[in-house]
Amino acid sequence: MINPLFDRTALVQSGLLDLPWAAAFREAPIGLIDVGARWGPSEIFQAAPEVFDVLAFEPDPREADILEREIGPGGGWAGFRVHRGALGAGTGTGALHLLSKANNSSLLPVNRHFTSRYAFRGFELERVLEVPLRALDDVLAEDGHGSAAEIIKIDVQGAEIEILKGARRTLAERAVCVICEVAFFPFYEGMPLCADVVRFMTDAGFSLYGLLDAQNRSTKRLDKSRFRARERLCHADAVFLRDPLDHPDGLGSTAVRQAQVLMVAAILLGYLDLALELADAGALPEAERAPFADAIRRLAAVEPAAVVADAETLAARVRAAPADAMLETARMVDRLRDFQTVHDVPRRD
């Protein structure tokens, strides 16, 4: 799960949601497709639920019932609908392998070689359920979901390429942001790897902007509390953006709404420099750019005292339990690793 840069309170206090461009999304909400919606939309979108009209895909009937009962009526979303079924490259049926840890369930069988090698937990098969498959392009064309799929989140444990193949038209005509889990070794049978997804999305006109919440695995022959070593990349959430500023003509023929939806995605995902860059390139009228930049700075500001407090808390924990010093330090690094690097910032001394 992607580590949010800020929460709902911070977004409200920044004043971003009070600006005219943001208020307009309350009248015409952003279409968010959530594929693999178990437990509800990602936390990053919960910072501003009122600007999202969510179409959630969930093939497990029990989970679909929970989503409709617990999230649909009172989640604060501009809209929330559940599509009962799975997505694929076309129309058909699939075998949903329901595993002991529900969010590990997949349309692909588990690759026991890798789950055994790395001692994965929660991958025990409980039952197999036959589920209907449809292409996202067909669902949106036939069911008339308006502006759906401006932002797409996919977390399906190995079926990513098949879903993307069934969404070619949607990717070309609607989507400006795709967040897709990618794997670096096949812990499901026949699982596409990160390189396959990146190649597909690059061909579709998207740029890989980041690998967030990267998870590593090892065989744990060395105790992490006492030894330092590197581990193998396992999986991450890949962020793909249709960035018009990658091209010399800038926004060019990009519609204002598309640019502003991309700006929303950039803000919620933490790519704040990109949000400012889009605003200056014409995504916002000139008169709105300064208030927008001020709000972004309020949102992103970090008080030095808060950083000192974090460091002092870490130091206190290390002093209290020296044997856990490496683990406590690593946990702080884990919390911060998805944010900006500072190797290009000269030291003051």
**Does 316 lie in the same domain as 183?**
no
* DSSP 8-state assignment for residue 308: H
**Does 340 lie in the same domain as 290?**
no
**Does 310 lie in the same domain as 297?**
no
**Does 65 lie in the same domain as 146?**
yes
Structure tokens at 137: 């392009």
2 inside domain: no
Question: What is the CATH number for 37?
Answer: 3.40.50.150
* Residues sharing a CB contact under 8 Å with residue 244, sequence separation 6 or more, in sequence order: 250, 251, 252, 254, 259, 262, 281
Confidence of residue 344 (pLDDT cuts 50, 70, 90): confident
CA–CA gap between residue 343 and residue 219 (Å, rounded): 31
CA–CA gap between residue 125 and residue 8 (Å, rounded): 37
Convert the pLDDT of each residue in 309-332 to its tens digit: 999 999 999 999 999 998 888 888
CA 86 and chain centroid, separation = 19
CA–CA gap between residue 45 and residue 62 (Å, rounded): 23
Convert the pLDDT of each residue in 6-51 to its tens digit: 889 999 999 999 999 888 999 999 999 999 888 888 889 999 999 9
**Does 317 lie in the same domain as 187?**
no
Convert the pLDDT of each residue in 82-96 to its tens digit: 999 999 999 999 999
Convert the pLDDT of each residue in 123-175 to its tens digit: 999 999 999 999 999 999 887 665 679 999 999 999 999 999 999 999 999 99
CA 258 and chain centroid, separation = 18
CA–CA gap between residue 109 and residue 99 (Å, rounded): 10
1 inside domain: no
**Does 195 lie in the same domain as 231?**
yes
Strand-by-strand arrangement of the 92-99 sheet:
86-87, 125-134, 92-99
Convert the pLDDT of each residue in 200-212 to its tens digit: 999 999 999 999 9
Query: In terms of Cα–Cα distance, which of 76, 241, 263 is closest to 152?
Result: 241
Amino acid type, 200? F
Structure tokens at 315: 């130091």
**Does 157 lie in the same domain as 62?**
yes
**Does 178 lie in the same domain as 36?**
yes
Strand partners of residue 127? 98
CA–CA gap between residue 52 and residue 233 (Å, rounded): 32
Q: Is the pLDDT of residue 282 over 70?
A: yes
Q: What is the pLDDT of residue 144?
A: 66
Confidence of residue 2 (pLDDT cuts 50, 70, 90): confident
CA–CA gap between residue 17 and residue 324 (Å, rounded): 42
* DSSP 8-state assignment for residue 188: B
**Does 294 lie in the same domain as 311?**
no
Count of domains observed in the chain: 2
Q: Is the pLDDT of residue 108 over 60?
A: yes
CA–CA gap between residue 255 and residue 31 (Å, rounded): 16
CA–CA gap between residue 25 and residue 17 (Å, rounded): 10
Structure tokens at 113: 């070689």
Positive or negative, the Cα torsion across 304, 306, 311, 312? positive
**Does 242 lie in the same domain as 158?**
yes
**Does 103 lie in the same domain as 191?**
yes
**Does 329 lie in the same domain as 297?**
no
Confidence of residue 216 (pLDDT cuts 50, 70, 90): very high
The three-state secondary structure class of 2 is coil
The model's pTM is 0.94
Q: What is the pLDDT of residue 254?
A: 85
Residue 235's φ and ψ, nearest 5 degrees, are -155, 165
Convert the pLDDT of each residue in 224-264 to its tens digit: 889 999 999 999 999 999 999 999 988 988 899 999 999 99
User: 104: domain range?
Assistant: 8-301
